[in-house]
């Protein structure tokens, strides 16, 4: 088996020795030193090198180094190519931690205190605690479900929304278009953990914000294209929304002139909410390389028609 590794974020010096130790005898090559492209059986990538996969005529599988797969451009892959997203306990843990941090910052008014400090103002805001801040988690998959449970374990009332009905301990679950309005109506901090698909693109828009209570907060950890930037700015500027925490953007990096950078009610981070931990994730990737060799279904294989 020939495996091609490429990432602009993940360090091959951390990944390749781990993969090699788990897959003795397999040939792991790091882009661009890959030799004959037709020999590549499996591509392990965050974003594939521009146009490269088209020349991998023997490609059997693509393993994403991210939990999301929209960045792979998989529409152009031949139908027999299997695609897997990354499910890794290290990544999931970091994502839940980020959501908890963002929710606690709002529940304990740290955003308001940051603004008051910048204005040298002693602004006493009576703390109310987390119990009065219902968090609504959009997307109850691997990361969304773990996030909802972690928030609930930390005292937040939590509700969740997904495409299909779910049951999660301590989380009030809603599903489908029919459940969305009730879900949003009780959400004070909205955390987006949806995958990007044609159905979820632009979902964080003016119509959705209008269904949140006045003074709600938005935390976008999914993808930049979930959010209609102008609608967020309008909702913040009218004070319908009180703040936003954004980890993902369209495009990344966000251009310097974008109004998000200097907005007093937006906290930005550069797509760092979670990353795969090679110590734990290399095992999952190695198992998928073994499965690709045997022509088996991959772990966390993406339903290509569904898009996640």
Instruction: Provide the annotated active-site residues.
Output: 223, 271
Binding letters toward ligand OXD, positions 267-286, x by CB under 6 A: -------xx-----------
d(CA 24, CA 199): 42
Q: Which of these segments, 64-72, 73-81, 176-184, 208-216, binds ligand OXD (CB under 6 A)? A: 64-72
List the one residue from 40, 99, 193, 298 that touches ligand NDP (CB under 6 A): 193
Give the N- to C-terminal CA distance of the chain in Å, as an integer.
26
Alpha helices in 119-185 (DSSP H): 142-153, 176-185
Nearest to 259 by CA among 284, 240, 236, 279: 236
Counting contacts by CB under 6 A, is residue 67 touching ligand OXD? yes
Counting contacts by CB under 6 A, is residue 163 touching ligand NDP? yes
Q: Which of these segments, 65-73, 119-127, 181-189, 249-257, binds ligand OXD (CB under 6 A)? A: 65-73
List the one residue from 4, 23, 162, 246 that touches ligand NDP (CB under 6 A): 162
List the one residue from 48, 68, 141, 243 that touches ligand OXD (CB under 6 A): 68
Residue 138 tokens read as 């959009």
d(CA 21, CA 193): 33
For the chain, the 3-state helix, strand and coil shares in percent, each to the nearest 5, are 35, 20, 45
Q: Binding-site residue total for ligand OXD (CB under 6 A)?
A: 7
* Residue 207: CA count within 13 A, CB half-sphere: 5
Q: Which is nearer to ligand NDP, 91 or 227 (CB)?
A: 91
d(CA 171, CA 166): 9
Closest contact distance (angstroms) between CB of 20 and ligand OXD is 23
Counting contacts by CB under 6 A, is residue 280 touching ligand NDP? no
Instruction: Output the CA–CA distances (angstroms, integers) from residue 186 to 136, 189, 190, 222, in the order listed.
Output: 8, 9, 10, 21
* Neighbouring C-beta atoms of residue 260, cutoff 10 Å: 18
Counting contacts by CB under 6 A, is residue 95 touching ligand NDP? yes
Counting contacts by CB under 6 A, is residue 144 touching ligand NDP? yes
Bond prior to 251 in cis (omega within 30° of 0): yes
Which parts of this chain interact with ligand OXD (CB under 6 A)?
A: 66-68, 86, 91, 274-275
Which parts of this chain interact with ligand NDP (CB under 6 A)?
A: 66-68, 91, 95, 139-144, 162-164, 193-197, 199-200, 221-223, 247-248, 271, 273-274, 308
């Amino acid at each position: 088996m020939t495996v091609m590794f490429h990432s602009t974020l993940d360090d091959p010096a951390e990944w390749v020795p781990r993969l090699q130790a788990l897959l003795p005898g397999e040939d792991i090559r790091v882009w661009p030193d890959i030799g004959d492209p037709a020999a590549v059986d499996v591509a392990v990538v965050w974003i594939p090198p521009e146009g490269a996969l088209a020349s991998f005529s023997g490609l059997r599988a693509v393993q994403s180094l991210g939990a999301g797969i929209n960045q792979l451009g998989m529409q152009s892959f031949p139908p027999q190519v299997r695609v897997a997203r990354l499910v890794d306990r290290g990544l999931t843990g970091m994502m839940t931690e980020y959501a908890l941090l963002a929710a606690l910052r709002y529940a304990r008014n740290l955003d308001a205190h940051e603004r008051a400090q910048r204005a040298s103002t002693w602004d006493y805001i009576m703390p109310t605690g987390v119990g009065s801040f219902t968090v609504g988690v959009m997307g109850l998959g691997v990361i969304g479900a773990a996030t909802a449970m972690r928030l609930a374990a930390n005292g937040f009332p939590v509700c969740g929304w997904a495409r299909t009905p779910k049951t999660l301990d301590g989380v009030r679950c809603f599903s489908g278009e029919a459940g969305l309005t009730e879900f949003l109506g009780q959400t004070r901090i909205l955390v987006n953990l949806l995958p990007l698909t044609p159905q979820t693109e632009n979902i964080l828009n003016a119509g959705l914000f209008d269904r949140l209570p006045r003074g709600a907060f938005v935390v976008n950890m999914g993808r930049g294209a979930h959010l209609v930037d102008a609608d967020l700015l309008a909702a913040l500027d009218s004070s319908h929304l009180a703040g936003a925490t954004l980890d993902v953007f369209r495009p990344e990096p966000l251009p310097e002139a974008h109004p998000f950078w200097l907005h007093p009610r937006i906290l930005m981070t550069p797509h760092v909410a979670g990353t795969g931990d090679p110590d734990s994730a290399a095992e999952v990737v190695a198992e998928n390389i073994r499965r690709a060799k045997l022509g088996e279904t991959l772990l966390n294989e993406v339903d290509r028609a569904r898009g996640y």
